[in-house]
Amino acid sequence: MTENRPATMQRIETPEQAQKFIEEQLAALKEQVGDKKVLLALSGGVDSSVVAALLIKAIGQQLVCVHVNHGLLRKGESEQVIQVFRHQMSANLIYVDASDRFLDKLAGVTDPEQKRHIIGAEFINVFAEEARKLEGIHFLAQGTIYPDILESKAGIKAHHNVGGLPADLHFELVEPLKFLYKDEVRVVGKALGLPDSMVYRQPFPGPGLGVRCLGAITRDRLEAVRESDAILREEFARNGLQGKVWQYFTIIPDFKSTGIRDGKRCFEWPVIIRAINTKDAVTATVENIPFELMEHITDRITHEVPGVNRVLYDFTPKPTATIEWE
């Protein structure tokens, strides 16, 4: 199967183009899947959500959605996924809390690519276990999009949803979005009737906060990433930046710096803020955040997140930097 976007494929920019793509995919999915069952990794991000909506439309209850909490999700994320998909969309959803399992495997691992591969392999293992509990699962659906394939082919970054499947895994892949760019996925999501909160939700990497807790992941530093990220998202929403900035998040490196807390010397982590704009995730520019807002966010993070005494802002566009640090 080709891994290149067809040269004749038009960019999907209008509801009409999205509808044409949806109709083509519904027919292709029905033909590929037949009466078999499909297992989908449902993170709640726009890619897997659009895949879920397409599959629900195409094959209904033959789709089994599995949401894995790998302990590397943002604050309140699993709760939101359950609310939206199980309660609002009536999806056939299985929730798996595998936090300890993932964090135990990641203990002491510092190399970013090794972390990605461990998380990706463990994801596949979890799905395989869930599939064995179910009857008639023949397919594994994935929210792979075209930038994933391009970056994997160029050797820039490993993606857990491109290749690397265990040889004994007898699932056939279903990847209806594999030739779409992120902006096209959003247009298709709108056409499918998904809520704006889902369609325009900022991207979140498969390995989650695991690639934002730099170096070897520790539970206390992971929690600091989660809490600082929640503050940043809250402040961006409060100040009208939620829909204006494409992606924004916090990172905590695995080193500390000297600071002062309550009149005494402290040795704590810095938080790095990243806020970028892009159309297709291939290139990205840095958002100009008002200085007063940055001061307020810094004050909140350094006073509300245990173990953090410093806040930095990443001004680097893509290229030379990638969007994520790892």
Q: In this structure, which amino acid lies at residue 114?
A: Q
158-174: average pLDDT: 64
Higher model confidence: residue 3 or residue 27? 27
- 10 Å CB burial of residue 292 (0-12, 13-18, 19+) is exposed
Closest CA to 38 of 91, 87, 75: 91
Q: Is the pLDDT of residue 190 over 90?
A: yes
Q: What percent of the chain has pLDDT over 90?
A: 68
Judge contact between 231 and 75, C-beta under 8 A. Answer: no
| Structure token digits, residue 41 | 């990794």
The span from the CA of 38 to the CA of 46, in Å, is: 19
Secondary structure of the chain in HEC code, one letter for each residue:
CCCCCCCCCCCCCCHHHHHHHHHHHHHHHHHHHCCCEEEEECCCCHHHHHHHHHHHHHHHHHEEEEEEECCCCCCCHHHHHHHHHHHHCCCCEEEEECHHHHHHHHCCCCCHHHHHHHHHHHHHHHHHHHHHHCCCEEEEECCCCHHHHHHHHCCCCCCCCCCCCCCCCCCEEECCCCCCCHHHHHHHHHHCCCCHHHHCCCCCCCCHHHHCECCCCCHHHHHHHHHHHHHHHHHHHHCCCCCCCCEEEEEECCCCEEEEECCEEEEEEEEEEEEEECCCCCCEEECCCCHHHHHHHHHHHHHHCCCEEEEEECCCCECCCCCCCC
Judge contact between 8 and 110, C-beta under 8 A. Answer: no
The span from the CA of 26 to the CA of 29, in Å, is: 5
pLDDT classification of 162: cutoffs 50, 70, 90: very low
CA 238 to chain centre: 23
184-201: average pLDDT: 89
Model confidence over 233-261: pLDDT tens digits? 999 999 999 889 999 999 999 999 999 99
Cβ within 8 Å of residue 229, ≥6 positions away: 74, 75, 209, 212, 249, 250
The span from the CA of 143 to the CA of 204, in Å, is: 12
Q: Is the pLDDT of residue 164 over 60?
A: no
Task: Check residue 76 and give its pLDDT.
Answer: 87
Using alpha carbons only, what angle is made at residue 324 by residues 109 and 198, rounded to the nearest 5 degrees?
Answer: 115
Cis omega (within 30 of 0) on the bond before 253? Answer: no
Mean pLDDT of the chain: 91
Task: Check residue 43 and give its pLDDT.
Answer: 85
Radius of gyration over alpha carbons of the chain, in Å?
A: 20
89-103: average pLDDT: 93
Using alpha carbons only, what angle is made at residue 77 by residues 72 and 80, rounded to the nearest 5 degrees?
Answer: 160
Kind of pairing, strands 257-261 and 63-69?
unpaired
pLDDT classification of 11: cutoffs 50, 70, 90: very high
A 10 A CB-CB count for 175 gives 18
Model confidence over 279-302: pLDDT tens digits? 888 899 999 999 999 999 999 999
- Both ends of the chain: CA-CA distance in Å? 29
Task: Check residue 233 and give its pLDDT.
Answer: 95
Model confidence over 107-121: pLDDT tens digits? 999 999 999 999 988
Which domains can be identified in the chain, with CATH numbers? 15-199 (3.40.50.620), 212-313 (3.30.300.10)
Higher model confidence: residue 201 or residue 161? 201
Model confidence over 118-145: pLDDT tens digits? 998 898 888 778 878 888 888 989 999 9
Task: Check residue 165 and give its pLDDT.
Answer: 55
Task: Check residue 196 and give its pLDDT.
Answer: 80
Closest CA to 244 of 219, 276, 215, 266: 276
